[in-house]
């Protein structure tokens, strides 16, 4: 069980960092991180981190799929985490 919590924590940190990095690259007009990669990080346990990064860095907030999808996925992941821990 401990390994799952560590993996969940790492994926959410990765989600937060990847949103920051994509925002940084967008400001500098550099090669961007693909939306597919952002979604994969969120789907594999990093939805809370990507949602936090989206709000914290004001990144991808105009894209409906991100604005709605990331928070919904984050809620699902948190519910599954709570069920897993109980």
Decide if 46 contacts 14 (C-beta within 8 A).
yes
pLDDT, tens digit, 9 for 90 and up, residues 27-67? 999 999 999 999 999 999 999 999 999 999 999 999 999 99
Taking the whole predicted model, whether its pTM rises above 0.85 is answered as: yes
Q: What is the DSSP string of 11-54?
A: HHHHHHHHHHHHHHHHHTT-PPPPHHHHHHHIIIIIHHHHHHHH
Q: Name the DSSP letter for residue 60.
A: S
Token duo for residue 49: 């981190």
């Amino acid at each position: 069980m401990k390994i799952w919590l560590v993996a969940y924590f790492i994926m959410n940190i990765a989600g937060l960092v990847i949103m920051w990095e994509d925002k940084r690259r967008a400001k500098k007009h550099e090669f961007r991180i693909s939306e597919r990669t952002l979604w994969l990080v969120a789907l594999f346990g990093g939805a809370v981190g990507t949602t936090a990064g989206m709000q914290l860095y004001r990144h991808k907030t105009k894209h409906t799929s991100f604005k709605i999808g990331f928070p919904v996925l984050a809620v699902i992941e948190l519910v599954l985490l709570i069920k897993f821990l109980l």
